[in-house]
Amino acid sequence: MRAGDRFVIRLEVQETGEEPTVELPEDTPLAVRLRERSTGAVVRTIPIGADRASAEALAQRIADDLARSDVDAFVASYGIGSAPGNEVRRAYLGIGSNLGDRAALLQSAVDGLAATDGITVAAVSPVYETEPVGGPEQPEYLNAVVAIDTDLTARQLLEVARRLEREAGRERGERWGPRTLDVDVLLVGDERVDEPDLLVPHPRLYERAFVMVPLADLDPMLAPWVPPGEAGVRRSEVELVQPQTQ
Ligand code: X6L
Ligand code: MG
Ligand code: MG
């Protein structure tokens, strides 16, 4: 397959992802973004600053490569989809459920992670019964944190998280509403991602007792203090099974 059939390069306003218009203030930060053609998912962001001519030149150069290369050659030469050097890193994912058979849904998330190529489940925290924070009135959550070893990038982990949520029958409704399964990418080694649809470390990680308490169980160094709200976080009878490594 030709790389241009799979990916599209766009010049975007960094904040909004929109196409820059002529009325745009001259100092608006721009980004050149490579996206999956079919889903629009961001594969790579190159922040450019406000220099529109440079941004256009870069986008054109990448567009030429997309037209010339096959997918494998393009992905290899741009290092897309892999951590630098493909090294394995420890990552932490938050899981939560407050609809349906919550314990079974959390266990299938853990099993789904273990069954994913490039992921080994290293540890699963205790499960907590937690009072809902934010959003409408809704049932209590079961929350836990999963430690994984992975050579996937934060972006690839986000795609895995979305697949697991979809497989759990999650329906997108009201913001912060009840859900069968929520999988959040909390930390991926020391990778930092700051893109419109993905922020790692998770920006509200340190404010949420329902994440920090189970995270502290796995590695107290990552959660040296636990935020207020601890009162709404109680150990559950539910125990998740750590799948055997394949
Ligand atoms: C003011 C306004 C203060 C909003 C906090 C906090 C909003 C957390 C959303 C907030 C605010 C969230 C879970 C949850 C959600 C979960 C528990 C969210 C997103 N997810 N409550 N609420 N467990 N216990 O997994 O985290 S919705
Ligand atoms: Mg969440
Ligand atoms: Mg989420």
132-183: pLDDT as tens digits: 999 999 999 999 999 999 999 999 999 999 999 999 999 988 999 999 999 9
Residue nearest to atom 5 of ligand 1 (CA): 134
DSSP states of 137-193: S-PPEEEEEEEEEESS-HHHHHHHHHHHHHHTT----STT---S-EEEEEEETT--E
Q: How distant, in Å, are the alpha carbons of 182, 208, 236 from that of 172? A: 11, 22, 27
109/114 Cα distance (integer angstroms): 9
- Give the Å distance between the CA of 186 and the centre of ligand 2: 9
179 is catalytic: yes
Cβ < 6 Å from ligand 1: which residues? 96, 130-135, 141, 143, 176, 182, 208, 210
Tell me, rounded to whole angstroms, the distance of Cα 246 from its chain centroid. 24
Closest CA to 144 of 232, 74, 238: 238
Among residues 170, 197, 217, 234, the one annotated as catalytic is 170
The helix (run of H) or strand (run of E) holding residue 227 is: none
pTM of this prediction exceeds 0.75: no
Give the chain's domains with CATH numbers. Answer: 3-78 (no CATH), 89-235 (3.30.70.560)
- Partners of residue 8 on adjacent β-strands: 35
- Short-list 114, 178, 180, CA closest to 150: 114
d(CA 61, CA 243): 46
Strand partners, 187: 92
d(CA 185, ligand 1 centre) in Å? 15
Ligand nearest to the CA of 96: 1
Nearest-atom index, ligand 1, CA of 140: 24
The number of beta carbons lying within 10 Å of the beta carbon of residue 196 is: 14
- Helix ranges (H only) for the chain are 3-6, 52-68, 71-78, 102-114, 154-167, 209-218
Distance CA 181, CA 40 (A): 23
Q: How far from the centroid of its chain's Cα atoms is residue 165's Cα?
A: 12
| Residue 184 annotated as catalytic | yes
- Mutation choice for ligand 1 from 133, 142, 170, CB with most ligand atoms inside 8 A: 133
- What residues are neighbours of ligand 3 (ion), with CB under 5 Å? 182, 184
Residues of the chain with pLDDT under 70: 79, 81-86, 246
Q: How many residues does the chain have?
A: 246
